[in-house]
Amino acid sequence: MRRFPLRTLLLMLVALLAFGRLWCVTHQDEASAPRPERLAGAPAPSAPGATASSGPECRALERALEGALRTPQDAQVVAEAQRRLEACVLPPPRACELSAALDVRSPLSNGEATPLRGLLGTLCERCPPAMNSCAQAVGQALLSAAVNAQADTALAKWNLDHAGPGTAAACASLVQLGLAPAAQSDITVRPPVLALVGTLAPRCAQEGHLDDAVLRAAAANLGAPSPALVALAAAPLEGTSGAIKPDHLEGTEPRHQAFDRDVKTGVPVGKAPKSERWEADGALRAGYAPTLKQLVAVRIHATGPGSVRAIVRTPKGVGLRDPEKDFSFVNPTVCRFQGTGAWEECQLQTPLRDVDSVSVLPEREDVVLNEVEIIGAR
């Protein structure tokens, strides 16, 4: 029996936990939110306190859908189900549950124009997030792509396009399971996941469901290059860029000599002990308060190779969490330097925003930082 590497198993566990958290959030939101009594353009309920799913068309919808599933070749039965569905503003839960059967009976591989596929699309466009199979299928596609050799990008895109009220939840799955991992230096994102993210991210951005800081971090991350994300995050940020001195420094002494504008002084960082915060702080961390509005480039004068990571603040629960400083973040690799003893410049593929700090991680024991310049704007 084939054994997965430990790293793959851990990534699968993280993905499952993240998806479980999203499922709980959507169900809690659905349970706690008041049911809409009226949607724009819809007739008012016939009785006080009635819900949008209590009308005669909604009550008969389940039977109509079951009839279409039994005899999909009967155009009149399918048309009747479509008519009742279009007349029902908020389908009842049981009707929404039938979307899984519609998907099985009419897979996308048979084409988008099949009658049952049309019913499924309309049903998803009306079902709430907690009962929306199209929205949930987006997260499932990302989980599947994390362990399988290929991903059905066409099916995932169809589900996102028809997620309706579940679009925000579907895009949250995309951020948690795809975009945030792609913005982290210590996670290897598999090509099928990157392909899905590149395909689905434009729609989520169009709907306003992508955090710009996370998107830019994923696009700038040298550890998980994605031309599709670079193109999506290509818009420049406002402000004039220049070298910005850190507000505080952490790490190897004499750390201030890496920012004193004198290449004749330096900091030996190669032998810095790897603490529990190494992945976040590295051997040297330059912090900014408030966070930088943009980071466009890093210039470094060093002896010996290493890399530079940006610590980008994200919405709560997205990416990693700094328990000591109590904020969520991602840490894209934005520069790899060779340490030739001359100036090297790393121009970011896309400007970053909400940058809390910048960390330097040496790759050998003989690495010396003579000077580091962070180019950006406050």
Q: Which of 30-34, 182-186, 349-353 has the lowest mean pLDDT?
A: 30-34
Give me the pLDDT at residue 226, please. 87
Which of 70, 105, 127 is a domain's end point?
127
Beta carbons within 10 angstroms of residue 52's beta carbon: 21
Q: What share of the chain is helix, strand, coil (3-state, %, to 5)?
A: 45, 20, 35
Any residues with CB less than 8 A from the CB of 344 and at least 6 apart, and which?
299, 300, 301, 302, 337, 338
Give the mean model confidence (pLDDT) for residues 192-204: 95
Amino acid at residue number 88: C
Beta carbons within 10 angstroms of residue 4's beta carbon: 11
pLDDT in tens, 295-318: 999 999 999 999 999 999 999 999
Give the mean model confidence (pLDDT) for residues 275-304: 91
| One domain for residues 300 and 202 | no
CB 184 within 8 A of CB 221: yes
Q: Map tokens 């002896």 to a residue.
A: 303
pLDDT of residue 18 exceeding 90: no
- Residue 13: pLDDT band (50, 70, 90) is low
| One domain for residues 165 and 105 | no
How would you label 212-248 residue by residue, b for 16+ Cβ within 10 Å and e otherwise? ebbbbbbbbbbbbebebbbebbeeebeeebeebebee
| One domain for residues 15 and 142 | yes
| One domain for residues 247 and 354 | yes
Separation in Å, CA 337 to CA 47, 298, 363: 70, 10, 10
Which of 163, 191, 210 is a domain's end point?
210
pLDDT in tens, 99-150: 999 999 999 988 888 999 999 999 999 999 999 999 999 999 999 999 887 8
| One domain for residues 123 and 40 | yes
Percent of the chain with pLDDT over 70: 85
- The dihedral through the CA atoms of 6, 318, 299, 303 has a sign that is negative
| One domain for residues 273 and 259 | yes
Q: What is the Cα–Cα distance from 372 to 349, expressed in whole angstroms?
A: 19
Q: How many domains does the chain have?
A: 3
Average pLDDT, the chain: 85
Q: What is the Cα–Cα distance from 91 to 198, expressed in whole angstroms?
A: 32
The pTM of the full predicted model, rounded to 2 decimals, is 0.81
Give me the pLDDT at residue 239, please. 73
Q: What is the Cα–Cα distance from 202 to 220, expressed in whole angstroms?
A: 17
Give the mean model confidence (pLDDT) for residues 343-351: 94
pLDDT of residue 32 exceeding 60: no
Give me the pLDDT at residue 225, please. 83
Percent of the chain with pLDDT over 90: 68
Which of 190, 210, 230 is a domain's end point?
210
| One domain for residues 169 and 101 | no
Beta carbons within 10 angstroms of residue 63's beta carbon: 13
| One domain for residues 302 and 324 | yes
- Residue 16: pLDDT band (50, 70, 90) is low
Q: Which of 26-30, 42-46, 280-284, 288-292 has the lowest mean pLDDT?
A: 42-46
Q: What is the Cα–Cα distance from 280 to 276, expressed in whole angstroms?
A: 9
Quote the domain boundaries for residue 50: 34-127
Give me the pLDDT at residue 36, please. 33
Looking at per-residue confidence, does 51 or 286 come out higher?
286
Amino acid at residue number 354: D
Q: What is the Cα–Cα distance from 289 to 83, expressed in whole angstroms?
A: 58
